[in-house]
Amino acid sequence: MSTETPAIGRPRAFDEETVLARAAEVFWRHGYEGASLSALTSAMGINRPSLYATFGSKEQLFQRAFARYHETQVASVRAALEQPTAYAAVEAFLRSSADGLTADDHPAGCLSIQGGLACSPENARISEILAAGRAATESALEERLSRAAKEGDLPDGMDARALARFVMALSAGHAVHAASGASREDLQASVDIALRTVALHP
């Protein structure tokens, strides 16, 4: 009978937050289906066994990477919605979004748009995850605008839900244009027009 002490598993030689950030960038650039395991493991600096042992599967890795990304976006949205008026909140949301979509420290555009807006049927779950993230942001906007309506901070008859949908649609359109090469100045000019066009003052 062997008296050898069982070997203790080696500690992970990587930081999960760091590799998740790298994975998010690959998904952001190539979309879920376009992100190969080879591209992911190369960017993350780990091998396939480590990926599977830590994250379970490519889909689970995406879920973790997107959750991390979404938490960052939620923090930015909350800061914008804390502005004292509906106009200021919408302006802060759109301008911070335009800045983020064209920042130099990550791919242009938005992971929630480019990650898997169109997926094959077997990967429909990815599109659902991304849609849920966008819906959560829209709900936060609607809640803030509904409060503004109750406080008399929106024009009479303004539909808070429709306004929230408009703001989200504009932001999503900006994401597509940013991914196609639109500059920060281009997007901010579009925000200027939107703010002049939509009467948000009561």
If you write DSSP's letter for every residue of 1-67 in order, what string do you get?
A: ---PPPPPPPPPSS-HHHHHHHHHHHHHHHHHHH--HHHHHHHHT--HHHHHHHHSSHHHHHHHHHH
pLDDT surpasses 70 at 202: no
> What is residue 158's predicted lDDT score, i.e. its pLDDT?
92
> What is residue 33's predicted lDDT score, i.e. its pLDDT?
93
For residue range 65-77, what is the model confidence (pLDDT) as tens digits?
999 999 988 888 9
For residue range 112-165, what is the model confidence (pLDDT) as tens digits?
998 877 788 888 999 999 999 999 999 999 999 999 999 999 999 999 999 999
| pTM of the entire predicted model | 0.86
For residue range 47-99, what is the model confidence (pLDDT) as tens digits?
999 999 999 999 999 999 999 999 988 888 999 999 999 999 999 999 999 99
Q: Can you count the helices (H) and strands (E) in the chain?
A: 9, 0
In angstroms, rounded to a whole number, what is the distance separating the alpha carbons of residues 177 and 182? 5
> What is residue 9's predicted lDDT score, i.e. its pLDDT?
40
Q: Say if CB 201 and CB 87 are below 8 A apart.
A: yes
> Which residue do the tokens 């992970």 mark?
12
190 CB-near residues (< 8 Å, 6+ apart): 98, 170, 174
> What is residue 150's predicted lDDT score, i.e. its pLDDT?
95
At 4, give phi and psi (nearest 5°): -70, 140
Q: Which amino acid is at 108?
A: A
pLDDT surpasses 50 at 104: yes
pLDDT surpasses 80 at 23: yes
Q: Say if CB 201 and CB 111 are below 8 A apart.
A: no
